[in-house]
Structure 1
Amino acid sequence: MQLFMIFSTLISVIIVSYYILKKYNPIFIFLFSGIILIIFAFYITGTPIPKSPTREDVSFLNVLLDSYAFIVATFKEQLSGTGLIIMSVAGFAAYMKHINASAKLAFLANKPLGKIQNKYLILSGTFVVGMALKIVISSYTGLLLLLLACIYPVLIALKIRPITAVCVLSLIALDYGPKDANSITMANMVGESENVVGLFLNYQIYSVLAYVVCIAILIPFYFAWIDRKDRIKGVLNDEVEIPEIIDPKCPTLYIFFPWLPVVLLFATYFMGIKLDVVSANFISITFVFIIEFIRHKDAKKLGEDMVVILKGMAEIFVSVVSILIAASVFAKGIESLGGIGILVNAMKSFGEEGEFAWIAVLLSITILSFLVYFASVIMGSGIAAFNAFGKLAPDIATKLGIAPIALVLPIEIASCLGRAASPISGGILALAGFAKVSPMDIIKRTTPLLLIAMIINIAVAFYLS
């Protein structure tokens, strides 16, 4: 029976991955497969339908109704919790884009880069600046589009090859900080949805810093080596059109606005005041509304700005929150099959002899991290892969005797790195189109660095565990 449970779990993951690779809508695939797996597990393994009442009548109709009731409960839970938080972040981000505040911030961030003499050090500087901006501009694709408009022209003007420039931009991959969707989801997974700032300061920041420092050091050597190889092959092409550098139209003061929610969250955290992410975003929006009214003296414009915010919230529901809900259903279906639990118990028993306990922990971190990494490559979405498999991690961590965050964090980081290695990721497609190169040209050059980053990620997570 145990072999059958493991086999059915693996087959389910393979089938779902196949259809997503075939570009079926992941929301539909996750929801549909989740329902099937939950019902299948009920009849085969006897696992109760999640969040359903105990029934004497276990007819197929009642089981089917209970499975749909679980979906409804998942929608309610996510929309009133993590989903609302993510939508508020997206609404604020859309408003910052609308008033050009985020674009102005990215534009001014490139100023120090022109003072660096060595072009490969400029690439490292670009990477570090981009990763710093990521804490306030949380969308991977959104940030890359801003950098393409504001920093990419500077890099080209400094005689950096387009393919090299977009490769470095693609490495600005990690989602982190208290207002990021993945971070918010991670906090919810480990049962600390009110402590996003604390998780960032106590855990996430170490993984991010290790990634930034190591990749920033490697970038000059790695891309200088790549250029030498291309020069030998005779494929270097310095004849490129330099895009126009556009200064966004808004006061310089506006560069501080994207930081408002982050500053509020950190300030209240250290002051011992309880402030949630949703409130921080809406307080920030209110403040910017006041400034915009003073600037334009037009109350009607504020109403139009509100529509921009609501549209931003609606778009993130379609692209992120709906995937989060669907992936939750799929994850519960996979969990119901029991195969994951059997494998974890086997690893746990292998490591119960004290001195070998660390092997079970390291294996779990490594296997789950690479599973999510390759799932992100296939799906082109980090948050989809993270939610599909990350929800299994807290139970696995508990069985291994480690804190849930120690296993969820490396999976969250791995989902970001996998997205940066996906030729169908929105961000990679944007970079490839802008530089007029193939997405695979970017992936081939950056994959060695991303795999090194995976090793760093696993090492830091194991140390923190």
Structure 2
Amino acid sequence: MTIISVIITLVMIGIVAYLLTNKYNPQAVLLFSGLIMMAIALLMGYDLPAMKKSTGLGAFDLFAMITEILSDKGSKVGLMIMTIGGFVAYMRHIGASDALVYVSTKPLTYLRKTPYLAASCVIPIGQFLFMSTPSATGLGLLLMASIYPVLTKLGISKVSVVSVITACTVFDMGPASANTAQASHQVGLEAVDYFLHHQLPLTVPLTIVLMIVYFFVNKYYDKKEGLNDQEGEKNNGEFKVTAPLYYALLPVMPLLLLMVFSPTFDLFEPPITLDTTTAMLACTIVGMVLELIRKRDLKDMMSSMKIFWEGMGRVFASVVTLIVCAQMFSKGLISLGFIDHLVDASQSAGFGFEGVSILMTTMIFLASMLMGSGNASFFSFGPLVPHIAAQLGGNKIGMILSMQLASSMGRATSPIAGVIIATSELAGISSFDLAKRNLIPLTVGLLSMFILKTVF
């Protein structure tokens, strides 16, 4: 029975990977694969994962589990992610995101004499922007409109410029990130605590590593392929910002509020704590008030609230449903004994917890590369971490952190990822060439993460 369940599990994972790679709807693929695996588990006499309340019939429990997950995720991490989506949509609508990008990238113009250093400096600046604008494709397009013409006019090749722009999205981090929300929820931490004490200490040195590697890799390949002097962009158009520049503060305001009013710092007596959902709502209202003062049009300000609700709805349809369906997929794997088999195989091979952690992290990196989605791969396998840690007694925070970062790194090496396709099309280059240019730095980044994890 054990061998049969292992074969079925591997076949199902292979089918899921194939379907996702071929652009089948990820929610449908993950949901139906999870239901099929749990149905097979029932037929084989296995127990389904524990539920709060069973219907009394295994067939009905399959669907009751969807209801239970939707209720749990929708009211907790799902609501938080939806308000983030609404806030980001509203910031884009009023031009605050453009203002932030303009202000943040302006200092790069002072590095004209060292173009490849200027290009590498885009990475930490862009990473900061990514924490405030947690959409890889959205940020990529903003940077293509703002910093791409600046760097190409310095004589750097198109593929090198776009490579550092996409590198800004390789660490899905910060309290406004859906992956952060999911990861912190799985390990029972507040998003700010997870960000400050676990993400930052690891991603800061990793960002420095990437800056160095991208500097030498881009300079080497531009010289080798003779791209330095022949592809300088002659576009004299400037990045237009319609909003006042002080609007640049609005997208980072939630991050600042969450840190100031976090239990981590304990700055107030009695304590004042602020959760991500409340911070996003408060900052959206601040943005609306500023719009009213600027435009003096009450009807327009009231109408703009629709942008926020529509942003929430889009994120529910794309991200929250993906979390729910991925949870069903992970429960299907658990019901067929995937965790037990993985633990037994790892112990037989002498891996231990760290070995399993490296294996899962590498698997997610490759899955993101194949699927073109960091969310799909991380949401599929992230929920397994608490079960693996319980079996092997390891550090579940360290494991889920490396898996989370690997998912977004793998996305930037995928020629079918949204951010890779969108930016490469704007630059007029091949998405495969861009993915190949990112492969060496991000493989070095992945190996560096394994080394740095032993320190942090």
TM tier, smaller: over 0.9
1:51 aligns with 2:51: yes
| Deviation at residue 340 of structure 1 after TM alignment | 2.6
Which residue identity is paired with 1:103? D
Alignment-derived partner of residue 427 in structure 1:
419
User: What is the alpha-carbon distance in structure 2 between the residues aligned to residue 401 and residue 251 of structure 1?
Assistant: 52
User: What is the alpha-carbon distance in structure 2 between the residues aligned to residue 403 and residue 181 of structure 1?
Assistant: 22
Alignment-derived partner of residue 95 in structure 1:
90
Which residue identity is paired with 2:137? T
Which of 348, 364, 388 matches 1:372?
A: 364
| Deviation at residue 210 of structure 1 after TM alignment | 2.2
Q: Kindly tell me the number of residue pairs found equivalent between the two proteins.
A: 448
1:219 aligns with 2:219: no
Output one character per residue of 1:393-449: Cα deviation in whole Å (capped at 9) or x when no partner.
Answer: 111122222232111111100100111111111100111111111100101111011
Output one character per residue of 1:203-232: Cα deviation in whole Å (capped at 9) or x when no partner.
Answer: 11122112211011122211111112102x
- 1:113-152 equivalences under 5 Å are 113-116=108-111, 117-152=113-148
User: What is the alpha-carbon distance in structure 2 between the residues aligned to residue 255 and residue 420 of structure 1?
Assistant: 27
CA root-mean-square deviation: 1.8
1:308 aligns with 2:307: yes
Larger mean Cα displacement after TM superposition, 41-50 or 413-422:
41-50
Q: Does the 8 A contact of 1:137 with 1:143 survive in 2?
A: yes
1:80 aligns with 2:75: yes
Which residue identity is paired with 2:70? F
Output one character per residue of 1:154-174: Cα deviation in whole Å (capped at 9) or x when no partner.
Answer: 112222211111011111121
Q: Does the 8 A contact of 2:158 with 2:231 survive in 1?
A: no
* Cα distance, 1:307–1:147 mapped onto 2, change above 3 Å: same
1:23 aligns with 2:23: yes
Which of 149, 152, 175 matches 1:153?
A: 149
For the residue of structure 1 that corresponds to 2:131, the secondary structure is coil
Which of 173, 176, 183 matches 2:173?
A: 176
Q: Does the 8 A contact of 1:39 with 1:49 survive in 2?
A: no
Q: Does the 8 A contact of 1:144 with 1:431 survive in 2?
A: yes
For the residue of structure 1 that corresponds to 2:133, the secondary structure is coil
Which residue identity is paired with 1:246? F
Q: Does the 8 A contact of 1:376 with 1:382 survive in 2?
A: yes
- State TM-score, norm by structure 2: 0.94
User: What is the alpha-carbon distance in structure 2 between the residues aligned to residue 217 and residue 18 of structure 1?
Assistant: 35
Q: Does the 8 A contact of 1:110 with 1:154 survive in 2?
A: no
- 1:35-434 equivalences under 5 Å are 35-48=35-48, 50-51=50-51, 53=53, 62-116=57-111, 117-172=113-168, 173-192=170-189, 195-231=190-226, 237-238=230-231, 240-242=233-235, 244-269=237-262, 270=265, 271=267, 272-348=271-347, 359-434=351-426
User: What is the alpha-carbon distance in structure 1 between the residues aligned to residue 375 and residue 453 of structure 2?
Assistant: 19
* Cα distance, 1:44–1:199 mapped onto 2, change above 3 Å: same
* Cα distance, 1:329–1:55 mapped onto 2, change above 3 Å: closer
1:11 aligns with 2:6: no
Q: Does the 8 A contact of 2:186 with 2:383 survive in 1?
A: yes
| Deviation at residue 382 of structure 1 after TM alignment | 0.6
Q: Does the 8 A contact of 1:395 with 1:404 survive in 2?
A: no
Alignment-derived partner of residue 33 in structure 2:
33
User: What is the alpha-carbon distance in structure 2 between the residues aligned to residue 379 and residue 184 of structure 1?
Assistant: 21
- State TM-score, norm by structure 1: 0.92
